[in-house]
Amino acid sequence: MIYSVTMRAIVFDGKLEYRADYPLPVPLEGEAIIKVSLAGVCATDLEIIKGYMGFKGVLGHEFVGVIEECSDDRFQGKRVVGEINIPCGKCECCKAKMPAHCP
Ligand SMILES: [Zn+2]
Ligand SMILES: [Zn+2]
């Protein structure tokens, strides 16, 4: 159950900005809304604010939290951790068992 339509976020769009009213994302099929308990800042985040990969958006891909909303009820209320990579499972990197390098 979602109690708010906004969330706190550190957003990068050429500059860093703390937002207390960032819109809560709407999960697509196969995605979930996670209430973050703890989040970390890693070297990738520090590179992102220097321009790495041209990323723009919400920082903080290393976290632990609890699933609040998911199309699959089996995951409701489960504790989960974040993963920066989303391997496709089909490209040459994935087929070579290197999913962390999936483009
Ligand atoms: Zn990281
Ligand atoms: Zn892949």
Ligand 2 midpoint to CA 81 (Å): 21
Which ligand is nearest to the Cα of residue 42, counting in written order?
1
Percent of the chain with pLDDT over 90: 73
**Domains of the chain by range and CATH?**
6-101 (3.90.180.10)
Please give the model's pTM, rounded to 2 decimal places. 0.75
**C-beta separation of 14 from 51 below 8 A:** no
| Confidence check: pLDDT of 48 > 80 | yes
Which ligand is nearest to the Cα of residue 47, counting in written order?
1
- For residue 48, the SS3 value is helix
pLDDT band at 2 (very low <50, low <70, confident <90, very high): low
Ligand 2 midpoint to CA 96 (Å): 9
Q: What is the pLDDT of residue 86?
A: 86
- For residue 99, the SS3 value is helix
Ligand 1 midpoint to CA 60 (Å): 8
Contacts of residue 34, Cβ cutoff 8 Å, sequence gap at least 6: 63, 65, 66, 67, 68, 80, 82
Give the DSSP H or E segment for 74.
Answer: none
Using the structure block, give the residue that is written with the tokens 């990738």.
44
